Amino acid sequence: MRAVVQRVSSAQVAIEGQVVGSIGRGFLVLLGVGEADGPEQLERLWSKIHKLRIFADDQGKTNLSLADVDGELLVVSQFTLFANCRKGNRPSFTQAGSPHLAEELYERFVERARQDVARVETGRFGADMQVSLVNDGPFTILLDTDELM
């Protein structure tokens, strides 16, 4: 699994002009599922995101996690995180998980996050979405479960 985690002061996702999810301070997570992903990768990724200490403490050091600041979470599916651009100019998405697998793991990821975070909002899997955010920092982290311990 791959994720782009952005620390935000606010974020929202709209479909056909209607806001379907919005948060205040927290993380916007763009989530991609690969063909070889399963529950182990989901748990590893969530554990890392949930414990990321990228909010400032009283001394301005990035020492606080999402839980420490009562942060909110907006999760948006994004298969394009598995784009392969090595050859040519048109990305290949053959490493992305099938729509069935990706939707299942996306929904399970959201449910797992809801066990730890009071407010979890989402986009809609497979929809054409418009995502708006105010990136706080800016602070953006790329995570890939193949590279996480």
Q: Which helix (H) or strand (E) holds 104?
A: helix 99-114
Nearest-CA neighbor of 31 among 66, 8, 2?
Answer: 2
Q: Residue 78 catalytic? A: yes
**How far apart, in whole angstroms, are the C-alpha atoms of residue 92 and residue 110?**
26
79 assigned to active site? yes
Task: Provide the angle, in degrees to the nearest 10, between the axes of the packed helices 99-114 and 39-51.
Answer: 40
The half-sphere exposure of 26 on its side-chain side, counting CA atoms within 13 A, is 23
Q: Which member of 6, 12, 41, 78 is catalytic?
A: 78
Q: Among residues 6, 12, 55, 79, which one is catalytic?
A: 79
- Catalytic residue numbers, as ranges: 78-80
